[in-house]
Amino acid sequence: MNNNKKKNKEEKILVTRSSMPSIEEYMEELRSVWDSRYLTNMGVKHEELKEALKAYLKVDNIELFTNGHNAIELSLQAFALKGEVITTPFTFASTTHAIVRCGLKPVFCDINPKDYTMDPGRIRELITDRTCAILPVHVYGNICRVDEIDRIAKEYGLKVIYDAAHAFGESLDGRGIGTFGDASCYSFHATKVFHTIEGGAVCFGNREKAFGEMLYLLKDFGISRENNVEAVGTNAKLNEFCAVMGLCNLRHIAEEIARRKKVSERYDRNLQGIPGLTLRKAQPGLTMNYGYYPILFNKEIFGLSRDEAAEILSANGIFARKYFYPTTNAFDCYRGIFDPAETPVAKQISEQVLTLPLFADLPLEEVDRICSIIINRG
């Protein structure tokens, strides 16, 4: 083995890498927090971040949380939902777990094979007299068919809560993604395009004033004022240190997305048109955030399965991710309760998809190397 190849194998490339401001910028932003010793409970930086995000995301209202999971779970609780929630199994564990933890029953709708989001054509057949809401997921920055979902929800009087963890900063025909549905939930986890180390948010319109008030109560134990607790809440408040990281990262978000776009376009240039590889297609009217780079492997055509490609990449120090695999209705904790065969498209996509490394400071020559390993099978 030559020295260059040995060096490349020793330098691991993970599927993502958190972007961060300089330590000097972070500490300067943090200075006032250090001086005040006001570290949590909706402090000054928390409120500054709320206002900054509200403007950036083009939404009417926003509440911040410790993480994206609490954002979903408390949204379900704040709407006082009972019964069944139509959702997708092609998502991260949090989406399904939040429904179950709220005492609701997830009813799984299959996805469409073009953008991997919920197939609206399959929703009506799943609606019963126990259905209370639809919880679709924007996937890899691909946006759900929001107009069709909205029409169905209005027809049956259902709430729509979007899992928008993959859609930060995106807009459709100039409209912020967070304005669709009755609420949209974001994750600000360290691996996301925008992060607060850990964090999350719920965006909602002015007509949902009572919902917003309940969200605020629930994230602070249900406490409305001293010696008065109106609801069974939890501790889901975003602290000041995380808010400061968010404020710093938001200043650089345009540069972050632009650099991710260059990486994504380099992948496109290398992999476009190769038989047996399916790349993500841009949706009309969508302003993308370039958060993920998923590809599907068709072994019969390309000659390698997804798992074989992942193993070859791993042997070269490149750690892509089978994301999402398995589907949530195939998790061990739900065995015997749900049947993944009922969502065959989601099952098939989950067995073929691999998300390649994508982060702002991934060198383009490393993108070329990753693609060369895939194309040359090693």
Half-sphere exposure of 61 (CA within 13 A, CB side): 15
pLDDT at site 6: 44
The domain boundary, picked from 230, 251, 272, lies at: 251
pLDDT above 90 covers what percent of the chain?
96
In whole angstroms, how far apart are CA 133 and each of 112, 192, 208? Answer: 20, 27, 15
Backbone angles phi, psi at 197, to 5 degrees: 75, -70
Residues 213 and 300 in one domain: no
Does residue 314 carry a pLDDT above 80? yes
What's the mean pLDDT in 115-141?
Answer: 98
Single pTM value for the model: 0.95
Select from 112, 163, 172, 166 the least CA-distant residue to 134.
163
The domain boundary, picked from 214, 233, 251, lies at: 251
Residues 129 and 184 in one domain: yes
68 found inside a domain: yes
Select from 51, 258, 291 the least CA-distant residue to 164.
291
Select from 188, 191, 165, 176 the least CA-distant residue to 287.
176
- Strand 183-187 to strand 200-204: parallel, antiparallel, or no bridges (unpaired)? antiparallel
Does residue 43 carry a pLDDT above 50? yes
337 found inside a domain: no
What's the mean pLDDT in 119-148?
Answer: 98
Does residue 324 carry a pLDDT above 60? yes
pLDDT at site 11: 79
CATH number of residue 258's parent domain: 3.90.1150.10
258-276 b/e with 16+ CB inside 10 Å = b? ebbeebbebbeebbeeeee
pLDDT at site 7: 43
Residues 194 and 312 in one domain: no
Residues 242 and 264 in one domain: no
Does residue 145 carry a pLDDT above 60? yes
Query: For residues 370 and 267, what is the distance between their CA atoms, to the nearest angstrom?
Result: 9
Residues 32 and 129 in one domain: yes
Residues 230 and 268 in one domain: no
pLDDT at site 153: 98
Which of the four pLDDT bands, split at 50, 70 and 90, describes residue 10?
low
pLDDT at site 42: 97
What's the mean pLDDT in 363-368?
Answer: 98
Domains identified in the chain, total number? 2
Contact 306, 278 (CB under 8 A): no
pLDDT digits (tens, 9 = 90+) for 166-201: 999 999 999 999 999 999 999 999 999 999 999 999
CB neighbourhood size of 354 (10 A): 23
pLDDT at site 73: 98
Select from 313, 320, 269, 274 the least CA-distant residue to 294.
320
pLDDT at site 1: 34
346 found inside a domain: no
Select from 121, 108, 104, 164 the least CA-distant residue to 139.
164
Q: Where are the alpha helices (DSSP H) in the chain?
A: 3-10, 23-36, 44-57, 68-78, 93-101, 146-156, 209-218, 240-251, 253-271, 299-302, 306-315, 344-352, 364-375
